[in-house]
Amino acid sequence: MERQPLVLLVDDEEDLCTLMQMSLSRMGIKTHIAHRLEQAKKRLSENKYDACLTDLNLPDGNGLQLVEWIGQHLPALPVAVLTAYGNMEIAIAALKAGAFDFVSKPINQKHLEQLLQKALNKPIENFQSKEDRLEQKLLIGQSLPIQQLRITLNKIARSQAPVFITGESGTGKEVIANLVHRLSNRNEGPFIAINCGAIPTELMESELFGHKKGSFSGATQDKQGLIQSAHGGSLFLDEIAELPLTMQVKLLRAVQEKRIRPVGSDAEIDVDFRVISASHQDLEALVQQGRFRQDLFFRIHVMDLVLPPLRERGDDIILLAHHFIQKISQEWGIPQKQLTERARNFLLSQYYPGNVRELRNIIERAITLSDEDKIDLQHLQSAPLRYPTATPLDRQQESTNAFRSDILVSAKKLPDEGLELYLENIEKDILLNALNLTHWNRTLAAKKLGMSFRSLRYRLKKFGLDTDDE
């Protein structure tokens, strides 16, 4: 296998070093860091580097001195300098001293890539590891919080420790859980995702642990539980805070002892799985309130991953919008539409309580509404087509009253479609209304409807309104 290139970064700003290290790591390049001139010389004497990037201002000297030192001691090593934007004089002095190129700060990823391509004399893409490509493909985003998340993700994925993922609804917790699995050495095994909020409480034990035939009415044959299905792979417990306390005890035992007992069985089964869990709720607060077991909390909470809300990811909003346009167009077999400047600005200015899921819904709707080859402001702002019952917040009460009187009037005549279907349609309309009012923030929608999150998820599934298709 080709050796991974090694680059020495010399800069006294820690944050900049971390950022550059992340950028280089995405190019498949390993880095060492030195913050001072003397430390840089020492490292250069001890290791074999393929290139060096140095800042000009160092606490104990300057970058030009380092360029000269390299010229004398390691003439074959390409060295480039980092200069403040527009400082051409210094840049030229560096070139005269033997630097092969310079990069202006703030550093632009494209320039950095081109520079390293020159220094290493190889196309950068060739160095990208399989994992990097997988992450770039599945986890869209280049903002700082997402880059940092990628670094932590890579470290975490390689261990066997339980991972706990937090983040608002729709931020991509399941995407991350899936990546943890795919980047781990369990990736040949299954990835079993369970939404703890969507399983009715009375079915939970049998769904998770399985059951023996005849263990309760309706158990007509043996059934393997979801935990057992994760054998050799990873078990993703989404919305873990929704697990009832009794089930938390049983889960703790399964996680600790790697053994389960199906309902109605005397025998225990060994199961080898890694647990990845997620919640949009503050689990620590739930522990304080006695709603989540502390021992289970400690057990599943060994490694932490925090997903930032979409509104804090800057230009990632546009990257994601393009990603969804491409994906949806491909699925529907239609040409890809372009976002106008106004549409981009609109997307960048939104709050997104429903995060990436909400953005996907907005894009899907806009593609449906636009008859042209572009997506403009009116397609993003218009009333949803797929979910046509949206009502502005300030008209909510008025609409509810009108809705009630509609029901009273129509209750006088019997529904042609039968009572069940008629009531289901009303139920569906109300659900859609609540979702539209809350921009598809399901937690908020459940609250507005006075029902639990679990119950809302269950109903959405029933009506095929659970838009998570991945």
Ligand X SMILES: Nc1ncnc2c1ncn2[C@@H]1O[C@H](COP(=O)(O)OP(=O)(O)OP(=O)(O)O)[C@@H](O)[C@H]1O
Distance in Å, CB of 422 to ligand X, minimum: 30
Residues 6+ apart with CB under 8 A from 137: none
Distance in Å, CB of 221 to ligand X, minimum: 31
Which x/- pattern, by CB under 6 A, does the window 358-397 give for ligand X?
A: --x-------------------------------------
Task: List helix spans (H) across 370-441.
Answer: 377-381, 396-411, 419-437
Closest CA to 301 of 320, 282, 319, 315: 282
Distance in Å, CB of 431 to ligand X, minimum: 15
169 part of the interface to ligand X, by CB under 6 A: yes
Report the residue number, 142 or 340, with the smaller CB distance to ligand X. 142
- Locate 5 and state its tokens: 């290139």
Element (H, E) at 348: helix 341-349
Cα gap 139→146, rounded to integer Å: 8
Distance in Å, CB of 205 to ligand X, minimum: 22
Closest CA to 251 of 188, 207, 208: 208
Report the residue number, 8 or 300, with the smaller CB distance to ligand X. 300
Report the residue number, 40 or 153, with the smaller CB distance to ligand X. 153
State the number of binding residues for ligand X (CB under 6 A): 20
Interface segment toward ligand X; rule CB under 6 A; list 62-70, 163-171, 343-351, 419-427: 163-171
Report the residue number, 175 or 426, with the smaller CB distance to ligand X. 175
Report the residue number, 20 or 310, with the smaller CB distance to ligand X. 310
Interface segment toward ligand X; rule CB under 6 A; list 136-144, 147-155, 340-348, 383-391: 136-144
Report the residue number, 323 or 344, with the smaller CB distance to ligand X. 323
306 part of the interface to ligand X, by CB under 6 A: no
Cα gap 225→126, rounded to integer Å: 43
173 part of the interface to ligand X, by CB under 6 A: yes
ω into residue 309 within 30 of 0, thus cis? no
172 part of the interface to ligand X, by CB under 6 A: yes
CB 107 within 8 A of CB 20: yes
B/e letters for 345-382, b = 16+ CB within 10 Å, e = fewer, are ebbeeeebbbbbbbbbbbbbbbbebbeeeebbbebbee
353 part of the interface to ligand X, by CB under 6 A: no
CB 129 within 8 A of CB 268: no
CA count, 13 A, side-chain hemisphere, 149 = 27
Report the residue number whose CB is nearest to ligand X. Answer: 172
Which of 50, 55, 101, 238 is in the footprint of ligand X by CB under 6 A?
A: 238
357 part of the interface to ligand X, by CB under 6 A: yes
Restricted to residues 441-460, the positions that interact with ligand X (CB under 6 A) are: none
* Strand partners for 260: 269
Cα gap 94→56, rounded to integer Å: 9
Q: Is 374 helix (H, G, I), strand (E, B) or coil?
A: strand
Distance in Å, CB of 141 to ligand X, minimum: 5
Element (H, E) at 470: none
174 part of the interface to ligand X, by CB under 6 A: yes
Which of 171, 361, 389, 433 is in the footprint of ligand X by CB under 6 A?
A: 171
Report the residue number, 55 or 242, with the smaller CB distance to ligand X. 242
CB 313 within 8 A of CB 273: no
Report the residue number, 211 or 274, with the smaller CB distance to ligand X. 274
Report the residue number, 356 or 369, with the smaller CB distance to ligand X. 356
Distance in Å, CB of 207 to ligand X, minimum: 18
Report the residue number, 82 or 140, with the smaller CB distance to ligand X. 140
144 part of the interface to ligand X, by CB under 6 A: no
CB 449 within 8 A of CB 434: yes
Cα gap 26→35, rounded to integer Å: 22
468 part of the interface to ligand X, by CB under 6 A: yes
Which of 63, 78, 170, 210 is in the footprint of ligand X by CB under 6 A?
A: 170
Pairing of strands 61-62, 57-58: antiparallel
DSSP states of 215-282:
SSTT--S-EE-HHHHTTTSEEEEETGGGS-HHHHHHHHHHHHHSEE--BT-SS-EE---EEEEEESS-
- Locate 304 and state its tokens: 């932490």
Report the residue number, 96 or 137, with the smaller CB distance to ligand X. 137
139 part of the interface to ligand X, by CB under 6 A: yes
Cα gap 47→145, rounded to integer Å: 31
Report the residue number, 81 or 307, with the smaller CB distance to ligand X. 307
Distance in Å, CB of 62 to ligand X, minimum: 41
Distance in Å, CB of 18 to ligand X, minimum: 21
167 part of the interface to ligand X, by CB under 6 A: yes
Q: If 0-12 CB within 10 Å is exposed, 13-18 middle and 19+ buried, where does residue 121 land? A: exposed
Residues near ligand X, by CB under 6 A: 139-141, 167, 169-175, 238, 280, 320, 323, 356-357, 360, 468, 470
